[in-house]
Amino acid sequence: MKAVLLLAAALALPCAAQTTVKLWPAGAPGSESRRNEPETVRDTYVSNVHDPSLTVFKADPRHANGAAVIVVPGGGHRILVMVNEGVAAAKALNRFGVTAFVLKYRLARDGDAGYTIEGHGAADLRRAVRLVRANATQYGIDPKRLGVMGFSAGGELVALVADNPAPPASGADLVERTSARPDFQVLVYPGPLGSPARAIEGAPPAFIVAGAVDKCCAPPAIGLYQQLVGAGVSAELHLYADTDHAFNMGARSERVSVQRWPDRLHDWLLDGGWMVQRGDGPPQGVPAPTPNW
């Protein structure tokens, strides 16, 4: 109960209650029979996810700029680090005027649920991109400025969705006709799955950050950066000296440079023009019906 209260407190914003949106109202494909199972929360880490969802963190209307980011927490595909790699990132993005959506996705290494990273975790992220873009008007965002930001295992999902071929869209609902390609990507100490990429020429611009002594995730960060630049894709890489894995949004580190890495992300978003309107018109694909949530 204490852990549940901690997570609820972390999700609370002083200005507004948070909204949770199910990715599939009738249940995720292949998980319909388990969609009503309660999630497990231990010390703010979430597991047993069978009904993937987004928690919406709207930017303050006084300085919202229309950009949006779907945040994908890490946790080794066993748990979701919802606070340090989800809520904290969303609130930092809100301070930049960016509306954020924190994704709960199905976990391939959590027990024997039978999920796969490529088949279920990545599918949940693609669906999240489609859902947010299809309802851009409702959220007050620009469908041409929708990015994805993944930590560790979440970074693997970002790479799989942004830098690798997508399977053909399936399903009859209107959201599935909307593009699942993010407009930009942010990879924070991304894991090795999804790198080297197999569709790098069409990849969106990337911001990549990792610790220089992170044996797991510095090599894929460097490798993906080299691939992107080699393919002519705009990319920026930050490697922090004497820094290992899981520095989150910088608060866990005593190094000033690591504490300030979100400022470098803000600089990159500004330099890339992601903080200003890029065009009018409805979201890509067909208009989605008014959501029932």
Q: Is residue 289 part of a domain?
A: no
Q: What is the DSSP letter of 176?
A: G
pLDDT given at position 17 = 57
CATH number at residue 134: 3.40.50.1820
Q: Is residue 263 part of a domain?
A: yes
If 0-12 CB within 10 Å is exposed, 13-18 middle and 19+ buried, where does residue 26 land?
exposed
Q: Is residue 156 part of a domain?
A: yes
Treating both helix axes as pointing N-terminal to C-terminal, what angle do 122-134 and 153-162 enclose, rounded to 10 degrees? 70
Q: Which amino acid is at 206?
A: A
Structure tokens at 59: 């930017």
Give the strand pairing for 206-211 and 184-188. Answer: parallel
pLDDT digits (tens, 9 = 90+) for 231-241: 999 999 999 99
Contact 223, 229 (CB under 8 A): no
What's the total number of domains in the chain?
A: 1
Angstrom distance (rounded) from CA 176 to CA 73: 23
Q: What is the CA radius of gyration of the chain?
A: 18
Q: Is residue 267 part of a domain?
A: yes
Q: Is residue 292 part of a domain?
A: no
Q: Is residue 286 part of a domain?
A: no
Q: Is residue 73 part of a domain?
A: yes
Q: Is residue 291 part of a domain?
A: no
pLDDT given at position 18 = 83
Q: Give the list of residues 6+ apart from residue 181 with CB closer than 8 angstroms, or none.
A: 129, 161, 162, 166, 202, 204
pLDDT at 2 over 70: no
Query: Model-level pTM?
Result: 0.90
pLDDT digits (tens, 9 = 90+) for 10-21: 444 344 458 999
| Full domain range(s) for residue 199 | 2-271
Sheet holding 40-42, edge to edge: 40-42, 45-47, 80-81
pLDDT given at position 251 = 93
Q: Summarize the confidence of residues 249-275 as an average pLDDT.
A: 97
Nearest CA to 261 out of 189, 194, 204, 154 is that of 189
Which one is predicted more confidently, 164 or 172?
A: 164
